[in-house]
Amino acid sequence: MGDLSRILRREYEPGPDCAWIWRLGLHPRVALFLWKVVWDRLPTRAVLGGRGVRIPLVCGVCGVAETVDHALFRCTWARATWRLAGVPQVVWRGRDPFLQAMRQGLESPLLRQGAVRASCTAFQIWLARNARTFDERRMSPRFVVERARVQAAELGYTIPVGGTLIARDT
């Protein structure tokens, strides 16, 4: 145990302070995902390629280098999903603005609701990217938005839905 904590300390310090993530009250899987975004630990194609995994380094949708910023925020497919989810663009214009908005979720219940909704959306975008990358399963942005909505609802948050999803909820 002593060795492990020494290794963990060596690997994880100094670095970004992540205590705020756990205070947001997210689903543990979403919290872990956010933690990986903060630490740049998501296994993107760029990361996998750097580890010697034989995989195309470019996004299968856009044909540009797949980084965290690309996979979650700049990818054509991701952007379509964010738009459909109705999350303000100021939140998803990049990794840093996104993390800043998540952190602000601690400031008020309303901001927290926005943060939960956006973090669930980002998480589902990542899961759909994994399905596309490793299982060649394609999910529609609408399906992903719905999954994020359900996930946020499990935490007691309601996500207002737009477009054709409204009928289902009324």
The residues of the shown chain that bind Zn ion, judged by CB under 5 A, are: 59, 61-62, 75
Smallest distance from the beta carbon of 154 to Zn ion, in angstroms?
28
Smallest distance from the beta carbon of 29 to Zn ion, in angstroms?
23
Q: How far apart are the first and last CA of the chain?
A: 53
Which CB, 128 or 152, lies closer to Zn ion? 128
Smallest distance from the beta carbon of 72 to Zn ion, in angstroms?
10
Going by C-alpha positions, the residue among 12, 18, 20, 5 that lies closest to residue 112 is 20
- C-alpha 82 chain-centroid distance: 11
Q: Using DSSP, state whether 75 is helix, strand or coil.
A: coil
Smallest distance from the beta carbon of 165 to Zn ion, in angstroms?
24
Which CB, 113 or 130, lies closer to Zn ion? 130
60: left (phi over 0), alpha (psi -120 to 50) or beta: alpha
Which CB, 80 or 111, lies closer to Zn ion? 80
Which CB, 7 or 64, lies closer to Zn ion? 64
